Each structure stands twice: as structure tokens, then as C-alpha cells.
């Protein structure tokens, strides 16, 4: 029975006999993963930290489109390779070298899982009628563990449920905001300001880019002849539409709250959405939608954490797969850590979350640039799968070209950062405008692409 209910595949390549599904499944999964309360909070951040609601929505849209395109390009790799995303990055960084970005990815999973657990814990407490903060957090942690352990098929099924509930709940909340309140009071209430506009772009782009390290994990089961374009567009549509809708609601809710309308979003994000719905059974339905949506993305985080930890360990053990029990233990450890972080989380939730997103953007944009340039411009679909599991094979232990380019891409961003703990000198000259991630993308591409291209030509010449 266990073999029938729990996914058996891990970091190994999915054989053609086990491929199934259609590209549109990616749309339901990623819409469900994005149409949820943390994305609403992400949208509210742009307004809470100074942007006008209208310009915040425009900035969020631009960030979702840019980040969503990068995220969907990663997804399009899944059917062709049949591999988890971070295993395939060994082709760029080397079998040992890929461990470096993986450490940041695991920290990301724990951080996102913790923030999701905080919000979902609030919703569960409101559903069951308790004021005990740990109760909702622990219940949500248990639910996440069960579904993440069961694996791929069940996470996709949950994504479909979350999509239906998200469509209904978000449609209702949108109607409420547009009909119950005069949103003209929060649109164009402030003049355009470049620094806060770019924060809006950054938080949305950062949101999308953080899916990059595991998005291909959920497209790798698709048949190998699945169109890359269809995989791209379904993933892109689901992720950007779900995120933009949620973030737009968040920006409007944050604007209404700042204008003294509809209560205080800052003090209780989940309760605010329930009050917005009208209380009673309607609020209960919104809380259920919140829990379902967060459960979807938290399962992605827990499942992805296993993939990353397995990728790290097998780099040194040279194994091509791990046993299902290893996944169970890995998932439980990450969920336990996220629950502990959620229980001790600071009250300054929104500010910490904004800084967390922007720091993730700093370390993930260079990795995305290197992975995508190599896949689409250097190596293409031609990967030596056996060598990905052998440190002495074709891809080696450390790839200095990728590692140095990655380090340059991260370090070059420091003077452009705008964080509560540190503001770079160039950022001060720009009036507080944080363009660090844009600089990171451009510099990483400028360093890596010509260097990797030249190295490829050198290898081909030597082989000839």
C-alpha cells in the first residue's frame, strides 16, 4: 500500500514509462500556489512601505511578468530532462559546486515555510475558535508533513482544489473591495516615486524567482515530447495571474487600511481578510481558502527541501536516488524547523518578510541567469545524466566559470542594496532606490555567457 500512495522517485531521472499529465496541470498547480495569503501580504508590502496603491499594482505587475518569465523558463526544462531542477544545475556548477546555491535554497524553504505557517496558523485558530497561537501552527505543520510525504500526485491534486477555492474566494473579495469601498481614495493618493515603485517591482520579481529552484520538479513527470512552449505558457499564466490577483488585492487592502478604511491590515492580516469578507460563514470560507492555498505552497517548500538535501548528500555519496524513508525524515526535519521559527517569529512580521524577499532576490538571480544561459544558449538539452551523479565525470567537482560568475553576481549587488540593516553607498546616491537584482542579472550574464561560450569552443576544438 505504501508503494501505491507514497511517491517513490527522488532525485533520479523519471523514466518515460512513468511520465504522465498535461501541461495545463502546471497552470492549476501554480495558480493555486500563488493565489494565497502570503502573496496578498507581499502586495500589501508595496503600499505599507510607501508606494501609492496604483503605482504599486503597476510595479507588481511588471515584477510578476519579469520574474514569472524566468520561473517558467525553468519549468520548461522539466519534461526534456526529467530531473529535479537542482540536480540539473550540477551541469553548470559541478557536482560539489552545486551545493553552494543549494544551501541558500534550503534556507529559503525554511523561511517561506515559517512565514506561511504563521499566517495559516492564524487562519486555523480562527476556524476552530482558539486564541492559542501554537495550536494553529502545529496543526498546519502536521497537515503539511502528511501531504509533502505522500508526494507529487497529491500535491498536484491539492493544487487543483486550491485553484477552485482561490478563484471563488478571490472573485468574492474583489467584488467586495470594488463595491463596498471607494477605492478612488487609495489610487493616486500619492505622487509617483521611483524608489517605492522599484520596491514593488522587486518584491513581485523576487516572489516569482524563488520558485525557480524547484519549479521543474513539478514538470519533470510530463511526457518527454511535451512542448516546451506549452509548458512555459501554462506555468507562466498560472503563476503570474494567481500572484498578480493576490498582490493586487493586497495592495488595495493595504491602501484601505492606511486610509483608515476597513480595519487594520498591519495588526492581523488574516483576520482583516475575514472581516473584509463580511464575517460569519463568509469569513470561515475565506479562512479555509487561505489554509488550502498556503498548504499547497508549503508542500512545495517541504518537498523541495527534500530534493535539495538529497542533492547535497548524494553529491558526496554518489548515489542516484534515495529511499522513501529518507524523504520522510527530511520533510519532517524541515517542517519541524519551520514550525519552531514560526512559534518564535518576531511581531515585526511585514518588515522582516520584505527584507527576506529582497535578500533571496540577491542570491537567486545570479543562479537563474547561469542556469538558463547554459540550458538555452550553451549546452541545450544535451546533458550527460550519469555524469551528474559522478564527481569525477564530465561535469567535475567544481566549475570555476559558474562559481566565479555566481560570486561576482552576488557581490556586485551589495553596493546597490537597500535593507534595514544595510544600505549600499550607490543606493544612497540613488535616493534609496534598490536596483541590486537588476545589476546582478546584467553583470552575471556579462561575465558568464562569453566565458562559458569560449570554454565550450575550446572543448570542441580540443575534441576535434
Hey, what's the cell of 238?
A: 498560472
194-209 and 53-75 are packed helices; what angle lies between their axes, rounded to 10 degrees? Answer: 30
Residue with cell 504563521: 118
- Averaged pLDDT for residues 281-304: 84
Q: How many degrees, rounded to 5, is the angle at CA 44 between CA 40 and CA 48? A: 160
What is the CATH superfamily name and number for domain 2-463? Hydantoin permease (1.10.4160.10)
Angle at which helices 152-180 and 133-150 cross, to 10°: 130
Residue 37's CB is within 10 A of a number of other CB atoms, namely 28
Q: Would you say residue 263 has pLDDT above 70?
A: no
Give the SS3 label for residue 423. Answer: strand
Instruction: Give the mean pLDDT of 206-231.
Output: 86
End-to-end CA, the chain: 54
What is the band of 350 on the pLDDT scale with cuts at 50, 70, 90?
Answer: low
Mean pLDDT across the stretch 360-372? 85
What pLDDT does 129 receive? 86
Using CB atoms within 10 A of its CB, is residue 386 exposed (0-12), middle (13-18) or buried (19+)? exposed
The radius of gyration computed from the CA coordinates of the chain, to the nearest angstrom, equals: 22
Give the pLDDT of residue 455.
Answer: 84
What interhelical angle do 228-258 and 37-48 show, nearest 10? 50
Using a pLDDT cut of 90, give the percent of the chain over it.
Answer: 15
What's the confidence (pLDDT) of residue 2? 40
Q: Is the pLDDT of residue 1 over 50?
A: no
| Rounded average pLDDT over 229-252 | 93
Which pTM value belongs to this model?
0.82
**Whole-angstrom Cα distance, residue 82 to residue 12?**
8
DSSP secondary structure letters along 230-265 = HHHHHHHHHHHHHHHHHHHHHHHHHHHHHTT-SS-T
- In whole angstroms, give the CA distance from residue 53 to residue 310: 43
Q: How confident is the model at residue 462 (pLDDT cuts 50, 70, 90)?
A: low
* Average pLDDT estimate for 119-133: 86
397 — alpha (psi -120 to 50), left (phi > 0) or beta? alpha
Distances (CA, A) of 326 to 3, 15, 59, 86, 339: 14, 21, 42, 18, 20
pLDDT of residue 3: 41
Helix, coil or strand: residue 79 = helix
> Which pairs count as long-range contacts for 432-437, CB under 8 Å and 24+ apart, including other chains?
432/195, 433/194, 433/195, 433/198, 434/195, 434/198, 434/199, 434/202, 434/358, 435/198, 436/358, 436/361, 436/362, 437/202, 437/205, 437/206, 437/358, 437/361, 437/362, 437/365, 437/413
Which of 324-333, 356-365, 444-453 is the least confident region? 356-365
Cα angle: 45, vertex 50, 54; to 5 degrees: 80
Q: Which of 59-68, 197-206, 283-292, 322-331 shows the lowest per-residue confidence on average (mean pLDDT)?
A: 322-331
423 - beta bridge partners? 418
Does residue 339 register a pLDDT over 80?
Answer: yes
Does residue 250 carry a pLDDT above 80? yes
Q: How far apart are CA 327 and CA 319, in angstroms?
A: 14
Q: What is the pLDDT of residues 59-105, one digit of tens each?
A: 999 999 999 999 999 998 888 888 887 788 888 899 899 888 888 88
**Local structure of 50: helix, strand or coil:** coil
Confidence class of residue 411 from pLDDT cuts 50, 70 and 90?
Answer: very high
Contacts 24+ apart (CB under 8 A), 342-345: 342/114, 342/115, 342/117, 342/118, 342/121, 342/137, 343/133, 343/134, 343/137, 345/114, 345/115, 345/118
Asked if residue 401 has pLDDT above 90, the reply is: yes
Predicted pLDDT at 298? 82
CA distance linking residue 30 with residue 35, whole number of Å: 8
CA dihedral sign, ordered 82, 85, 91, 96: negative
Nine-digit cell string for 30 = 501554480
C-alpha closest to that of 221 among 381, 385, 10: 10
Contact criterion met (CB below 8 Å) for 19 and 153 = no
Task: Give the residue, 434 or 454, on which the prediction is more confident.
Answer: 454
The rounded distance, in Å, linking the Cα atoms of 312 and 315 is 5
What CA–CA distance (Å, rounded) separates 169 from 249? 11
3-state secondary structure of 270: helix
Rounded to an integer, what distance in angstroms lies between the CA atom of residue 243 and that of residue 39?
6
Q: Find the range with the poorest average confidence among 79-88, 152-161, 354-363, 408-417.
A: 354-363
pLDDT above 70 covers a percentage of the chain that reads 89
Q: Is the dihedral of CA 324, 327, 331, 332 positive or negative?
A: positive
| Across 126-130, 321-325, 367-371, 409-413, least confident range | 321-325
Query: b/e string for 88-99 if b means 16 or more Cβ within 10 A?
Result: bbbbbbbbbbbb
**Burial class, 324, CB count within 10 angstroms (exposed 0-12 / middle 13-18 / buried 19+):** middle
User: pLDDT, tens digit, for every residue of 14-42?
Assistant: 777 778 778 888 888 888 888 888 888 88
Of residues 232 and 437, more confidence is placed in 232
Mean residue pLDDT of the chain comes to: 82
- What's the pLDDT at 421? 67
Residue given cell 511520465 in the structure block: 19
Per-residue pLDDT, averaged over 362-372, amounts to 88
**What is the distance, to the nearest Å, from the Cα of residue 65 to the centroid of all Cα atoms in its chain?**
14
Amino acid at each position: 500500500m505504501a508503494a501505491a500512495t507514497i511517491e517513490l522517485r527522488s532525485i533520479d531521472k523519471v523514466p518515460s514509462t512513468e511520465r504522465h499529465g498535461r501541461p495545463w496541470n502546471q497552470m492549476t498547480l501554480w495558480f493555486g500556489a500563488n493565489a494565497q495569503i502570503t502573496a496578498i501580504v507581499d502586495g500589501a508590502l508595496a503600499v505599507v512601505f510607501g508606494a501609492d496603491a496604483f503605482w504599486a499594482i503597476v510595479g507588481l505587475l511588471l515584477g510578476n511578468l519579469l520574474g514569472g518569465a524566468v520561473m517558467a523558463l525553468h519549468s520548461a526544462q522539466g519534461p526534456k530532462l526529467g530531473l529535479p531542477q537542482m540536480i540539473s544545475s550540477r551541469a553548470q556548477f559541478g557536482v560539489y559546486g552545486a551545493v553552494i546555491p543549494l544551501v541558500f535554497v534550503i534556507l529559503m524553504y525554511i523561511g517561506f515555510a515559517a512565514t506561511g505557517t504563521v499566517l495559516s496558523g492564524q487562519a486555523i485558530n480562527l476556524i476552530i475558535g482558539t486564541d492559542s497561537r501554537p495550536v494553529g501552527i502545529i496543526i498546519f505543520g502536521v497537515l503539511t508533513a502528511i501531504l509533502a510525504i505522500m508526494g507529487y500526485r497529491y500535491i498536484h491534486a491539492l493544487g487543483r482544489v486550491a485553484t477552485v477555492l482561490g478563484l471563488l474566494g478571490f472573485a468574492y473579495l474583489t467584488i467586495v473591495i470594488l463595491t463596498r469601498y471607494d477605492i478612488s481614495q487609495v489610487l493616486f493618493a500619492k505622487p509617483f516615486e521611483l524608489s517605492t515603485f522599484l520596491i514593488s517591482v522587486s518584491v513581485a520579481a523576487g516572489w516569482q524567482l524563488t520558485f525557480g529552484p524547484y519549479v521543474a520538479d513539478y514538470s519533470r513527470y510530463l511526457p518527454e515530447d511535451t512542448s516546451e512552449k506549452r509548458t512555459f505558457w501554462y506555468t507562466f499564466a498560472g503563476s503570474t495571474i494567481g500572484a498578480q490577483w493576490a498582490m493586487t488585492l493586497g495592495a488595495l487592502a493595504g491602501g484601505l487600511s492606511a486610509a483608515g478604511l476597513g480595519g487594520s491590515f498591519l495588526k492581523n492580516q488574516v483576520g482583516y481578510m475575514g472581516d473584509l469578507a463580511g464575517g460569519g460563514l463568509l469569513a470561515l470560507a475565506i479562512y479555509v481558502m487561505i489554509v488550502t492555498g498556503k498548504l499547497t505552497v508549503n508542500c512545495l517548500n517541504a518537498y523541495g527541501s527534500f530534493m535539495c538535501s538529497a542533492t547535497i548528500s548524494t553529491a558526496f555519496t554518489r548515489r542516484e536516488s534515495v529511499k522513501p524513508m529518507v524523504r520522510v525524515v527530511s520533510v519532517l526535519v524541515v517542517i519541524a524547523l519551520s514550525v519552531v521559527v514560526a512559534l518564535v517569529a518576531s511581531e515585526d512580521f511585514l518588515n522582516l518578510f520584505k527584507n527576506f524577499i529582497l535578500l533571496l532576490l540577491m542570491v537567486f538571480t545570479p543562479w537563474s541567469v547561469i542556469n538558463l544561459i547554459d540550458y538555452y544558449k550553451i549546452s541545450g538539452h544535451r546533458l550527460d545524466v550519469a555524469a551528474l551523479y559522478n564527481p569525477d565525470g564530465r561535469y567535475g567537482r567544481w566549475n570555476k566559470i559558474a562559481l566565479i560568475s555566481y560570486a561576482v553576481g552576488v557581490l556586485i549587488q551589495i553596493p546597490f542594496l537597500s535593507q534595514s540593516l544595510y544600505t549600499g553607498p550607490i543606493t544612497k546616491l540613488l535616493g534609496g532606490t534598490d536596483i541590486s537584482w537588476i545589476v546582478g542579472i546584467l553583470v552575471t550574464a556579462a561575465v558568464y555567457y562569453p566565458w562559458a561560450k569560449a570554454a565550450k569552443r575550446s572543448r570542441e576544438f580540443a575534441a576535434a
